[in-house]
């Protein structure tokens, strides 16, 4: 039965109603029990396409077989589907017809229909429905909706979960924090606007979202170019004291930077300092990445100076961010200064550092300087040098250089060969480097031949 209900809901939600009807018929014929999610999603989808009369036929068909079905929740799902198709007259009639059949609508259902008439600017009908709500409706049970929402999310019926949650949130009905966190994480994949609405509802209730929820929501907001909405949300969170540690501030700064809200990210760092807290190297690096990505190099240099003034020493990532950017735009003097500075400060370069510097120097025809940098990688760590070498050789060949390629390749052979072999013995220790040598062997041979002709 659980599998059949899952299949029924999945087919109905995806629009395959003919197939869903076949599953429903087999479930009735086989005495399989229907549950709230299976029957609710199916009935809602039928109502959206075929109208209320078809829904009532389904309700009559499951008479005396609705043991696992929460009738009030299904009634809310049905009227929600009808209202979404602007069948508000049908939705109003559904409240009474389903109530008479024992499927008593709760306040959520009445609120959905009254909202439909409000949006249609039909104030008289809206008022009458609100009176019916007070007289005939029943209070919704938070646990019932919790169970259904969790089941919808678990079954990946995200659209239906989102629509039900919207009805609850917009009606200001109670909903648990863990359900909201899970909803935002799931809904953010398909609807960033709905996800941020749920998050704002949670914050408005003086409850703070989980870190996982914020991360997934912010990823979605970045993907959908909703930086303004992100900053608005973070501003409220900051005002409510969400950030109490470096980790939480880093989350805010990093996502603002990723969304291109560089000025706002810098304002957060200034706020951290005003509170006599340490922004931490991670926040500085996130902002530095954003500045470089947006070609804001003057502010990046200013931030670099500010780090030292604040007593925050740059790490390898900081150097690599700046070296990579300055190398990309050909600022060789800045690159050399940064490279020398990191050596003086005892920060060991990695392959990213070396390849950025060497590639830039080769592009500027500064081959001797490039070889000097490469030799430093050899002195630092032969394994590191072997990973840098591939990039070095490619950069040299792109510039049409052959003598330095040969000497560099000779260094590789000396470093990696198990014996003191001659430069033209390509039996090196690593298969990867053997393949590399085989690729460059004919190129090098041709270069040498041309050199001596």
DSSP string, 4-26: HHHHHHHHHHTT-HHHHHHHHHH
State the Cα–Cα distance between residues 453 and 447, nearest whole angstrom: 10
Quick check: 162 pLDDT over 60?
yes
* Closest alpha carbon to 382 in 345, 347, 429, 436: 429
Backbone angles phi, psi at 128, to 5 degrees: -65, -40
What pLDDT is attached to residue 343?
92
What digits encode the pLDDT tens for the residues 277-305?
A: 888 899 999 999 999 999 999 999 999 99
* Closest alpha carbon to 152 in 161, 141, 143: 161
State the Cα–Cα distance between residues 21 and 35, nearest whole angstrom: 15
What digits encode the pLDDT tens for the residues 395-447?
A: 777 766 655 455 555 555 455 444 433 333 333 334 444 444 444 444 444 44
State the Cα–Cα distance between residues 358 and 356, nearest whole angstrom: 6
Which DSSP symbol is given to 176?
Answer: -
Quick check: 237 pLDDT over 70?
yes
Indicate the pTM of the whole model. Answer: 0.73
For 380-419, letters b (16+ CB in 10 Å) and e give beeebbbebbbbbbbbbbeeebbebbbebbebbbebbbee
Summary mean pLDDT of the chain: 84
**Within the chain, how many helices (H) and strands (E) appear?**
25, 0
What's the length of the chain?
A: 453
Are the C-beta atoms of residues 377 and 345 closer than 8 Å to each other? Answer: no
Which DSSP symbol is given to 418?
Answer: S
Quick check: 342 pLDDT over 50?
yes
Taking the mean position of all CA atoms in its chain, how far away is CA 222? 8
Q: Which helix (H) or strand (E) holds 262?
A: helix 262-274
- Grouping H, G, I as helix, E, B as strand and the rest as coil, residue 196 is helix
Count other Cβ atoms within 10 Å, centred on residue 429: 14
- Beta-carbon contacts of residue 391 (< 8 Å; ≥ 6 apart): 355, 358, 359
What digits encode the pLDDT tens for the residues 76-114?
A: 999 999 999 999 999 999 999 999 988 999 899 999 999
Quick check: 451 pLDDT over 70?
no
Region 169-197 average pLDDT: 89
Quick check: 256 pLDDT over 80?
yes
Quick check: 230 pLDDT over 70?
yes
- Beta-carbon contacts of residue 124 (< 8 Å; ≥ 6 apart): none
List, in order of start, the domains of the chain with CATH numbers. 1-140 (1.25.40)
Are the C-beta atoms of residues 256 and 283 closer than 8 Å to each other? Answer: no
What digits encode the pLDDT tens for the residues 184-199?
A: 999 988 899 999 999 9
């Amino acid at each position: 039965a659980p599998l059949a209900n899952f299949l029924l809901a999945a087919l109905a939600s995806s629009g395959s109603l003919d197939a869903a009807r076949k599953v429903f018929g087999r479930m009735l014929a086989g005495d399989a029990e229907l549950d709230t999610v299976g029957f609710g999603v199916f009935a809602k989808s039928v109502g959206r396409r075929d109208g209320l009369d078809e829904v009532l036929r389904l309700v009559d068909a499951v008479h005396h077989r609705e043991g696992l079905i929460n009738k009030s929740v299904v009634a809310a799902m049905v009227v929600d589907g009808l209202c979404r198709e602007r069948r508000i007259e049908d939705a109003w009639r559904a409240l009474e017809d389903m109530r008479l059949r024992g499927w008593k609508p709760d306040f959520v259902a009445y609120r959905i229909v009254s909202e439909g008439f409000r949006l249609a600017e039909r104030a008289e009908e809206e008022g009458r429905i609100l009176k019916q709500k007070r007289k005939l409706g029943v209070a919704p049970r938070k646990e019932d909706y919790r169970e259904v929402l969790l089941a919808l999310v678990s079954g990946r019926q995200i659209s239906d979960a989102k629509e039900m949650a919207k009805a609850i949130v917009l009606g200001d009905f109670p909903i648990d924090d863990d359900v909201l966190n899970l909803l935002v994480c799931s809904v953010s994949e398909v609807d960033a606007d709905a996800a941020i609405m749920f998050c704002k509802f949670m914050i408005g209730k003086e409850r703070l979202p989980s870190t996982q929820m914020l991360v997934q929501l912010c990823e979605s907001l970045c993907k959908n170019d909703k930086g303004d909405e992100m900053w608005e949300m973070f501003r409220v969170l900051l005002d409510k004291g969400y950030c109490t540690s470096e980790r939480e501030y880093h989350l805010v700064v990093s996502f603002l930077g990723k969304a291109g809200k560089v000025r706002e990210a810098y304002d957060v760092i200034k706020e951290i300092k005003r509170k006599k807290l340490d922004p931490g190297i991670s926040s500085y690096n996130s902002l530095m990445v954003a500045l470089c990505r947006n070609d804001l190099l003057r502010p990046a240099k200013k931030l670099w100076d500010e780090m030292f003034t604040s007593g925050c020493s740059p790490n390898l990532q900081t150097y690599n961010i700046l070296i990579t950017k300055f190398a990309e735009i050909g600022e060789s003097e800045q690159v050399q200064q940064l490279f020398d500075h990191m050596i003086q400060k005892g920060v060991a370069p990695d392959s990213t550092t070396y390849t950025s510097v060497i590639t830039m120097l080769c592009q500027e025809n500064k081959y001797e300087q490039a070889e000097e940098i490469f030799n430093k990688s050899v002195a630092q760590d032969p394994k590191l040098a072997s990973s840098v070498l591939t990039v070095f050789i490619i950069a040299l060949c792109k510039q049409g250089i052959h003598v330095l390629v040969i000497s560099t390749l000779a260094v590789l052979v000396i470093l990696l060969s198990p014996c003191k072999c001659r430069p033209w013995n390509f039996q090196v220790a690593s298969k990867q480097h053997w393949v590399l040598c085989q690729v460059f062997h004919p190129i090098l041979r041709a270069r040498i031949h041309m050199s001596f002709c």
